[in-house]
Amino acid sequence: MRVVVFTIILLMLAAVSLFVGVADVSAAVVSISRIPRTAALILAGVGMSVSGVIMQQMTQNKFVSPTTAGTLEAAKMGLLIFLIFTPTAGVSLKMLSAFLFTFLASMIFLAIVRKIKHRNIIFVPLVGLMFGGIVGSISTFFAVQLNIVQDTNAWMMGDFSGILQGRYELIYLTLPAIIITYLYANKFTVIGMGEEFSRNLGLNYNYIMNIGLFCVSLTVSSVVITAGAIPFLGLIVPNVVSLLFGDNLKKTLPIVALSGAIFLLICDIIGRVVIYPYEVPIGVTVSIFGSIIFLFLMLWKRL
Amino acid sequence: MEKTITIRRSLLIALLLMIASAALFMFYKMGNSWEFALRFRGMKVITIIVVAGCVAFSSVSFQTLTNNRILTPSIMGFESLYLLIQTIIVFFYGDQTFKVLSHVDNFLVSVIAMIAFAFMLYLMIYKKGKDNLYLLLLVGIILGTLFSSLSSFMQLLIDPNDFFIVQGKMFATFNKINSDLLWSSLIIMVIILIIGFRMSKYLDVIALGRDQAINLGLNYNRVVKIFLVLIAILVSVSTALVGPITFLGLLVTNLTYELFKTHRHSVIIIACCLVSAIALLIGQFLMERVFNLSVPISAIINIVGGFYFMYLLLKVKKI
């Protein structure tokens, strides 16, 4: 029932999103620019919030997400390395590079998390943020050498205004990741309990872990390449949903996915309207709303 | 007793090393206009000492308060706020920035904003009755993320030529220091360090853990608050003076604990100041004279500190 309500809201927002913009609505504008943009927004919203859920399940920590685990910074580093060594190669190599770096960084982060013993729950995201800061400072070092700091910032700023037919299809790679996550949702929860626990239940720990990392890396790197970094989404959407609807992942995962897309669509519409006919990049609107919501949850809702 | 003597001897060695590296930095290949060189390099040495003192004390006490060795106070949003302020200034004034706003004004604006930010943060957490330092940190970092995305949005709109002004502020340099600022920063640093040093015995108690410290009769919340204020002032002064050096604190504190193998804060604080000064002096010397690199030293420190941090995280059995 809830899923139906959320789907209806999503469809309504998607329709609004199709008709917001400077150019007059015509068949060409809609098919070349508006539909790709709305589709990319929905996929990115679903993908980022679902990867937040996977990471939270695997680490059993509700503060872990692509923003707080260095994943976004790793994707940036992958893009930068690609640009330094093979600037002319095609988009598939770019994707591969970003994917490999995010995968590696997530593996390192999980290895670090496993060493943190029963500490304060906030300690894990702090370590993740430090880790991200370090990865970021290494990329910045090379970016300064090549005088491309401003350009790297431009790629990483989440922005859907450049999305056109023929230039965004990579984001459909999030679809398989989302489907796999849905099928494996409970297993991610089990491996979050620890290696021995999952062995006892007959799960192949490393196999499931790698599937989780694969899904997260695929989603994050394809979103970063098509639209740039979208912070906070994977952090706040799963937490708000679990506050409202509980923790049964099989039931709440669709709601998480839909709410992620709804949140992103709302932020995008606001960004497109607020300084019309110009646009505020979605990275900024998401950061503002995301950090306010997050602080509210932390300080007043006793998350 | 024997341990005190060895510690004293190592402190003395560190002091001599620092003087030696300062001398090397000052007198190496002076050239003809030695008066100018001496003045110019002397300023750099004093700047390095101010920054070393600020970073060392703030990092050591912060790590003790938060009871770990892998955090530094600068990640708490100070540096992103500093960059946001610099970006806003360039955003509005463009290439007129230096005409409109003198170095002193810029310094004052940045320091006041950063200290105000820290106080707001402390009030927000303590008013809610949550004396959880990790929560304080996380909220600080989240606000820092917000600041960074605001500044990267503005940086996109800035003219690429003006952007270089911002980029110059993204890394700490010891090269363009205003002498008035330097003296006032030095005075602030010395005053705070004296206060902090006199309170260092409390850090020894806090290091035992919150509950033990309270059991031993320490007014825990009050002392922690005082240290947080001292840390905020030191980090703001050092950041506004030279720019962000995020991971220096991480590098030097761990190096100091490794070298001195003691947990008495009166020793560790002095030792860490000396180690930071030596690291910065030698680093700056190598950068300037030996490798002739134009890379800012803070970028190198961030890379070295970054890899060292990874090593710490991956090698240590338990965090």
ipTM of the complex: 0.80
For the residues B35-43, what does the mean pLDDT come to? 84
Question: Which range marks the domain in which residue A43 is found?
Answer: 2-300
Q: Does the pLDDT of residue B1 top 70, yes or no? A: no
CB pair distance less than 8 Å for B318 and A283: no
Task: Find, among A236, A230, A237, the residue nearest to A282 by Cα.
Answer: A230
Q: What is the Cα–Cα distance from B1 to B5, expressed in whole angstroms?
A: 7
Amino acid at A178: I
CB pair distance less than 8 Å for A157 and B124: no
Locate B279 and state its tokens: 């690291």
Measured between CB atoms, which of A149, A281, A291 is closest to B142? A291
Domain count, chain B: 1
Q: How many CA atoms lie within 13 A of A261 on its CB side?
A: 25
pLDDT of residue B317: 64
CB pair distance less than 8 Å for B138 and A154: no
pLDDT of residue B307: 81
Q: What is the Cα–Cα distance from A255 to A241, expressed in whole angstroms?
A: 7
Alpha helix positions (H), chain B: 2-27, 34-66, 78-93, 97-100, 103-127, 133-157, 160-170, 179-198, 200-206, 210-215, 220-242, 248-260, 265-285, 297-315
pLDDT of residue A260: 94
CA distances from A122 to A135, B69, B262 (A): 20, 16, 28
Residue of B nearest to A137 (CA): B302
Find where tokens 């503005």 sit: B154
pLDDT of residue B131: 61
CB pair distance less than 8 Å for B137 and A126: yes
Q: Is B123 on the interface with A (CB under 8 A)?
A: no
Instruction: Divide the 303 residues of chain A into consecutive groups of 10 and give the mean pLDDT of each group.
Output: 88 87 78 89 94 89 88 90 83 89 92 77 84 85 81 82 83 90 86 84 88 92 90 90 85 92 93 83 90 85 63
Which CATH number does the domain housing residue A191 bear? 1.10.3470.10
Q: What is the Cα–Cα distance from B152 to A143, expressed in whole angstroms?
A: 15
Measured between CB atoms, which of B160, B302, B317 is closest to A137? B302
Q: Which residues in B lie closer than 8 A to residue A132 (C-beta atoms)?
A: none
Residue of B79, B146, B307 for testing the chain A interface, max A β-carbons within 10 Å:
B146
Amino acid at B141: I
Judge whether A222 and A173 are in contact, CB under 8 Å: yes
CA dihedral of residues A298, A117, A128, A183 (deg, nearest 10): -80
Locate B259 and state its tokens: 């070298």
Residue of B nearest to A156 (CA): B152
Q: What is the Cα–Cα distance from B147 to B117, expressed in whole angstroms?
A: 12
Question: Which range marks the domain in which residue B238 is found?
Answer: 2-315
Distance from CA of B109 to the nearest CA of A (A): 24
Q: Does the pLDDT of residue B134 top 90, yes or no? A: no
The least confident of A60-64, B225-229, B311-315 is B311-315
Q: Is B246 on the interface with A (CB under 8 A)?
A: yes
DSSP code of residue B147: H
Domain count, chain A: 1
- Quickly state the pLDDT bin for B8 (edges 50, 70, 90): confident
Residue of A nearest to B167 (CA): A149
Q: What is the Cα–Cα distance from A224 to A254, expressed in whole angstroms?
A: 23
- Quickly state the pLDDT bin for B130 (edges 50, 70, 90): low
